[in-house]
Chain A
């Protein structure tokens, strides 16, 4: 094969990006200043000021008091449990959520709409109710717990129970992030893969899932964030044994009940810092993904 002469066009220099257009100097819609000031005021009242208070609070007993809390083995154990189980739950939800979203968008079957609506239930249900229901089911005397007990598997009152509760509250985040992207996936792209000789599995793994990555990641981040902060459903099923199944939010409540406000704020601040780091990390991955894939 030899090259034919090129269609005439100016070469685009490597790294060239068209000028950004999101900060218009002339705008179609008015109200940039008023909407920005509303945004900043609102975010300050709802997010920034309470968090600033949290940062200001722990120093009653000086840095030493804070470090004492930071190195308390009970606090460290609870942090490990909270972030570890939350991550495990989010990872589990990543796979299950993808399957659920896939089934809901790709197949039509009787009851699909009902199933679709069910996905949102964990959003709507008071988490304490969910916790009690799960606990009743998975307790050694419960329907599912009774089946697992002879196998030596204990779910309620163990970290495994926490996992069940966090999977429950996190699932809708992954499903709802992935579903619209999957629904709008260009059918021609799949057909192109097919005509190029890819099997259905290869098409799914090499073509469809990679383009879902940004949506999967944002679903994962939301599910993780939700799981880290979850309190209501967990305390009923966890058993709350210090060092074993005691989550950090519970530890904060315990400190509050003991009127140890500075200690509670210290734990909260550590949690806030860790969550912040995790979210920054996930955002960086998100940015990298979107740089790679780009949007056409």
Chain B
């Protein structure tokens, strides 16, 4: 293990930000800290960076006690949500900063620094931007400069705080793929914070899901998706439709029909959850009766909203060539889940 975080607790004035959080990262691993705002993910990242100190617990990196080192000496690369570029310096000077501030005997020569800056500008695809100032760059370009600046000190650990938070959807997706490639090329262990589940699942080797300062689940993206341990993880990773039912012997009983259930709950009354794409709609048959409220395209699928008589709205997704394509707004339909989840 390269990074070991052990039972970290951190409270701010009358509010606990993190409670006994533990996780580990393997060398070269890409870890995402995922959670809604206020879940403590940024606090955790700041503790890793040494910008804050925990109340108790330990952080070790490659066998070294990180808590005994301050931010300056940890040699970690940190990319901030606001980019935090030095406004009065050119892009090249920004990138060279971490090398220029080293003590004279550790500092590389001017030529070495120049070569390093050139190669990093190359890496982040900003070859011709070295002489520009941050104010002359777009958001995505600034983000890449911030990353190059962090990589310049050859960090042992790369930390990214909502790196794509302020960018528009298209640029985000581009940068995401590109960040993953840079990680694979440089091989630096990376921890990144996000509240966007799609981003976390898309990028990370493993995802740490946080809620109210505690870890809900740690796992690979597919594992989280297929075997969520808690209702929170299930709800956070995608849209969830809910229905009340009775659980008995691996299946959930509803009004006149039953559905296979993946469950950690005991038999009895349950709140069942199902994904939009794990359901059928049809005009007749078993299921929850309702009216079609909207039909919209959602990429490779059709997305339907079906309103039930008690006011609940279910979201369902179907292939463009399925029976759903023949439906119109206002039609009476039934929604039949093919698989439901229940949590104890």
The answer to whether A and B come from one shared complex is yes
Chain B, 274-306, CB within 8 A of any chain A CB: none
In the complex, the answer to whether A202 meets B101 with C-beta atoms within 8 Å is yes
| A18 CB, nearest partner CB in chain B, Å | 10
Q: How far is the CA of A211 from the CA of B128 in the complex (A)?
A: 25
Within 8 Å by CB of A1, from B49, B174, B175, B185, lies B185
User: Which residues on the A side are within 8 Å of B340 (C-beta)?
Assistant: none
Please give me the 3 A-B residue pairs with the lowest Cβ-Cβ distance, nearest first. A294-B135, A7-B174, A196-B98
Q: Does B86 sit within 8 A of A, measured CB to CB?
A: yes
27 A-B pairs with CB atoms under 8 Å apart are A1-B119, A1-B123, A1-B186, A2-B185, A3-B125, A5-B178, A7-B125, A7-B171, A7-B175, A7-B178, A186-B82, A189-B84, A191-B84, A192-B149, A193-B86, A195-B78, A196-B149, A198-B72, A207-B86, A210-B86, A210-B89, A213-B88, A293-B87, A293-B133, A294-B135, A294-B136, A295-B135
Q: Does B102 sit within 8 A of A, measured CB to CB?
A: yes
- Interface size of A by Cβ–Cβ distance < 8 Å? 34
| A236 CB, nearest partner CB in chain B, Å | 42
Which residues on A are within 8 Å of B, measured CB to CB? 1-9, 12, 14, 186, 188-189, 191-199, 202, 206-207, 210-211, 213, 292-296
Chain B, 55-82, CB within 8 A of any chain A CB: 71-78, 80-82
Within 8 Å by CB of A194, from B71, B134, B186, lies B71
| B85 CB, nearest partner CB in chain A, Å | 8
In the complex, the answer to whether A7 meets B140 with C-beta atoms within 8 Å is yes
Chain B, 103-152, CB within 8 A of any chain A CB: 119, 122-123, 125, 128, 133-136, 138, 140, 142, 146, 149-150, 152
- B90 — nearest CB in chain A belongs to which residue? A292
- Interface size of B by Cβ–Cβ distance < 8 Å? 49
Q: How far is the CA of A202 from the CA of B104 in the complex (A)?
A: 13
User: Which residues on the A side are within 8 Å of B78 (C-beta)?
Assistant: 191-192, 195
Which residues on B are within 8 Å of A, measured CB to CB? 49-51, 71-78, 80-82, 84-89, 97-98, 101-102, 119, 122-123, 125, 128, 133-136, 138, 140, 142, 146, 149-150, 152-153, 171, 174-175, 178, 181-182, 185-186
User: Which residues on the A side are within 8 Å of B125 (C-beta)?
Assistant: 3-4, 6-7
Chain A CB count within 10 A is highest, among B101, B125, B182, for B101
Q: How far is the CA of A295 from the CA of B123 in the complex (A)?
A: 26
In the complex, the answer to whether B185 meets A192 with C-beta atoms within 8 Å is no
In the complex, the answer to whether A206 meets B87 with C-beta atoms within 8 Å is no
User: Which residues on the B side are within 8 Å of A186 (C-beta)?
Assistant: 82, 84
Q: How far is the CA of A3 from the CA of B181 in the complex (A)?
A: 10
- On whether A293 and B88 interact (CB within 8 A), knowing A4-B185, A12-B138, the answer reads yes
User: Which residues on the A side are within 8 Å of B75 (C-beta)?
Assistant: 197
In the complex, the answer to whether B123 meets A294 with C-beta atoms within 8 Å is no
- A3 — nearest CB in chain B belongs to which residue? B122
Q: How far is the CA of A102 from the CA of B13 in the complex (A)?
A: 26
Chain A CB count within 10 A is highest, among B49, B88, B138, for B88
User: Which residues on the B side are within 8 Å of A193 (C-beta)?
Assistant: 86, 97, 101
User: Which residues on the B side are within 8 Å of A197 (C-beta)?
Assistant: 72-73, 75, 98, 101-102, 153
